[in-house]
Chains A and B, each alone.
Chain A
Amino acid sequence: MALYPLIYGIRASFHAYRYGRDVGSAGFKNYDAVLHDHTFWTALGTTAKYVAFAVSIETLLGLGLALLVVNQLRFSRFIRVGLILPMTVAPVVVGVIWRLMYASDIGVVNPLFSSLGLGSPNVLANPGSAFIGVVAVDVWEWTPLLFLIILAGLQSLPQEPLEAARVDGAGPVRVFFDHTLPLLRPVLMVAVVLRLIDAVGTFDQIFVLTKGGPGTATQLISTYSYNTAFLFTQYGRAMAMVVALMVLVLLLTIAAIRFMRTAAMRTSS
């Protein structure tokens, strides 16, 4: 049951479809077409950029917020609850909310920027700002996940080495970089790998906010393969894209795990 959809999908990637029907084996033609599809490579590049920006910012923000909250600052309980809220909203709803906020005519972003003397950015109308806009939405929604994982990690760190360092006169920055961060690294890696896998498949927000535009500025592999399957009815080619992406994600995961293993060994030594 777990494997059947995968096998079905891989099989479909080697078949040709016409007029709604499976018209037989296509060999490697779908893969060849995908590899020669300029739009696929553009979408792949955009996906990589999107994932890199979103996950990096989320990790840094999540780490920063977790460090603030773990130190039992005032209102930390409220901050914790407030930070978790975006993650509980369905991605498609998140897309709708932000589309309204970004809307150049009725949204709140244009008036906000204008009031600060920064003009009207028309976020979703320009390729650069649209990309930043969709990354910002992802950061808003998923930073809480990184925050929660890292916070849990921080709370369960052994206190002895940290206290010993402090007794030896190390300042907070030194303690953080020399002790907290190395101890936290395995947790961070797991959090980043999980988030990275999830971010590669981002679909709902993009579909609602920009449909991949303007031009191809926010077109991710997920939206392009969806369109290829259900709009262009090229199921075989879409499946070839998805399988190629799946292989890529697996390779990334393995690379991340190896990195994690090396880092952990270095820490323990």
Chain B
Amino acid sequence: MTDKERDAKRPEGAGARNGITRRKILERGAVGAAGLFGAGFIAACGGSSKSTSTGTTAAKAASSGGGGGTITIGSFQDNAMAPFRDTFIKRFTAETGIKVQYNETSYDAWYQNAKNDGLNKTGAYDIYVMDDNWVPEFAAGKIIQNLDQIGFKANPDILPKGLDQGYWPPRTGARLKDFANDKPALYAVVIIDDVELLYYHKDYFSGAPKTWDDIAKVAARKAKSPKLYGWSARGVKGNPIMMTYLPLLNSYGGQFVKDDWSPGFAGPEGVGALERLFSFIPYMPAGVAEFDTDQETQVMLQGKCMALTEYTGLVHRVDDKKSSQVVGKIDMAATPAQEKSGPAIGTFICGIASGSKNTDAAKQFLEWFTSSKIQTDFARGDGSAAVTKSALTDPQAVKQFRWLPAIADAVNNSVPKPKTPDEPKFEDILGTHISQALIEAIQKKSGYNAIAQAHLTKAANEMTQFIKQQGGYV
């Protein structure tokens, strides 16, 4: 680089050598750099299979050492998986003699890794730990096995709304055209019932607020921004702000999509829900539009927020003396109702790889881990979001971990996201428009109804256009 730059400063023509002038070198260098940019970007977008193959080779090598008595589980990294990884895998091996190899990586990397592994049926993994919104793609693409067909027996004690997340096509709600007449089958089984909860400060609420109006009233009376906020939220565009909006939308009787795939949020219910969110603006941090989970929860952990909605990952942090100034002061409940409670659900769910070399042991593991006994121990251990009713209502567990009944209640009231591989695109469309609406509402401080109506209508039109363009819906 330095040589090239020095060369560039010589007088014109001084660098001619073997018919190649300095200018030509510079030109070719610049074109080459442009090409490299393109190649680099394309490699970044299309090169995931290469990095995946490296990972799967390692996993394959690891699993091959154990022979028939070994299963390999792949997962994304998440604190909620710690007891599963550190305690229950070892216990399974101790009880059954089946060895378990556990590999984890980042969320995005694991999604690509699992998908490529399943599509290529490498046999490197037996069980995929997934986010439940992967199920439509993984089941429709035969990346995971039909658990009903291999004789998997689902524990009837598993909360039905959690169990529903593993069915394809979905048992309720809109279905893709190609699968409209298929009989729903279980493709994945829930292992952690992650669901949105209402977290409220007991100093300001005598009991769990039943409606959003209850929260708004207390916020209006007691909030003193910026020392004490009435409400905190995730405002970043896309998925984060959608997780703020969905419990409101569901509770006001709106729907993300209707059963015919038409948007269900641009009507009075959706507008009312968004207006309710805007009504919290005077009681929310000024920078809420840039808040993601870290900033949203920080104000609560600092004791500066009266209530918020968040997934179950926060339950341990509010009682952690190292990071929380509100230990024991925060209680949890299902997200408030207006017409009804409607938390968003985002379970951790397991499927058996289509290329699994030890399907029987994988099935045995999943049946074992989702059994009532193990789930009760899972809940008793550190208050994990177990998936069975008996675990979440177990007196011993509940005595120690007050949030467990709230999780059960929230799961029972939960509303699943649309079951389609395009769900993230739907979230992005609506989540971008809600972000824009929130900023406009913050800036204008009035005219909330018109702002909500305009942006939700735009989002609905955009989503309808996308669905039409994508095909396969109606």
Contacts and interface: CB of A to CB of B under 8 A. Distances in A.
Interface stretch (A48-56, A77-85, A227-235): A227-235
A210 interface: yes
Interface in B140-154: 140-141, 143
B115 A20 contact: yes
A198 to B, nearest CB: 7
B41 A201 contact: yes
Interface stretch (B71-79, B308-316, B330-338, B422-430): B422-430
A156 to B, nearest CB: 4
B287 A127 contact: no
Nearest to A107: B287
B235 A186 contact: no
B5 A197 contact: no
Interface in B439-464: 439, 442-443, 462
Interface in A80-131: 102-106, 110, 120, 122-127, 130
Contacts of B141: 18-21
A214 B9 contact: no
Contacts, number: 224
B452 to A, nearest CB: 15
Interface string B20-40: 000100110111011101111
B141 to A, nearest CB: 3
Interface in B379-404: none
A183 B298 contact: no
A126 B295 contact: no
A2 interface: yes
Interface string A214-227: 11100000100111
B108 A20 contact: no
A253 B237 contact: no
A175 interface: no
A170 B38 CA distance: 46
Contact of A253 (B31, B39, B119): B31
B27 A257 contact: yes
Given A5-B47, A246-B42, A253-B30, 16 more contacts: A19-B421, A20-B119, A20-B143, A105-B298, A122-B289, A125-B235, A125-B288, A126-B443, A153-B8, A193-B33, A213-B236, A229-B46, A239-B46, A250-B34, A252-B34, A267-B12
Interface of B: 2, 4-6, 8-13, 23, 26-27, 29-31, 33-35, 37-48, 108, 111-112, 115, 118-119, 137-138, 140-141, 143, 235-238, 285-290, 295, 298-299, 421-422, 424-425, 428, 432-433, 435-436, 438-439, 442-443, 462, 469, 472
